[in-house]
């Protein structure tokens, strides 16, 4: 990965984190807010591969851990694992369709929220039963909506010459 690309991803994930903490809590729908950092990590994993995604997920998750007094490392771990999985799953499909990242955002949001909560339960930080299924599914839906906006944006910045099925369909 080029230095320019590394700098670009650093700026994107930092911006996503600031937006997540300072702005998105005001954008709650049905009591939940989306997780922009996770959406960005998954989309980067789809575009740049599992390692880039995992590093973005780790860095973004670490920023979130630092900004809240919860156990440091939990968000970093769950987001890095999720993004790595996204990049690995993407390699199984040969498609530029927007459907793939969008579906990955939905299912992997459920995965990340479950892993995050499971780790907190194992650490004794969360009481059982912790899994609020409605909240997890609502967050996954909201993340998917956000993915529909973020994916074309990131793709435009990353590969300005290429067109995916989404941009073709819009013309």
Using CB under 8 A, list all residues that contact another protein. Answer: 17-23, 25-29, 31-33, 35, 37, 49-51, 54-55, 58, 64-77, 80-81, 84, 113, 116-117, 119-120, 123, 126, 132, 135, 139
Report d(CA 34, CA 42) in Å as an integer.
14
Helix H or strand E segment including 120: helix 99-122
Question: Nearer to another protein by C-beta: 77 or 104?
Answer: 77
Least CB distance to another protein at residue 74 (A)? 6
Q: How far is the CB of 94 from another protein (least distance, A)?
A: 15
Question: What Cα–Cα distance (Å) separates residue 90 from each residue in 25, 32, 43, 137?
Answer: 30, 27, 10, 22
Output the smallest distance, CB 163 to another protein, in A: 28
Least distance to another protein, CB of residue 61, Å:
8
Question: Quick check: bond before 129 cis, omega within 30?
Answer: yes
Specify the residue, 28 or 162, whose C-beta has the smaller distance to another protein.
28
């Amino acid at each position: 990965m080029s230095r320019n690309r590394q700098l670009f991803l650093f700026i994107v994930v930092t911006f996503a984190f600031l937006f997540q903490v300072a702005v998105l809590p005001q954008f709650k729908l049905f009591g939940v807010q989306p997780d922009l950092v996770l959406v960005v990590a998954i989309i980067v994993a789809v575009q740049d591969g599992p390692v880039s995604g995992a590093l973005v997920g780790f860095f973004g998750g670490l920023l979130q851990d630092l900004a809240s007094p919860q156990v440091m490392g939990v968000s970093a771990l769950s987001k890095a694992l999720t993004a790595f999985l996204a990049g690995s799953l993407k390699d199984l499909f040969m498609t530029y369709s927007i459907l793939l990242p969008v579906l990955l955002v939905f299912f992997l949001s459920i995965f990340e929220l479950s892993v995050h909560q499971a780790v907190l339960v194992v650490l004794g930080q969360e009481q059982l039963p912790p899994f609020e299924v409605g909240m997890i599914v609502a967050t996954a839906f909201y993340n998917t909506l956000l993915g529909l906006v973020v994916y074309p944006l990131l793709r435009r910045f990353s590969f300005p010459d290429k067109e995916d099925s989404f941009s073709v369909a819009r013309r």
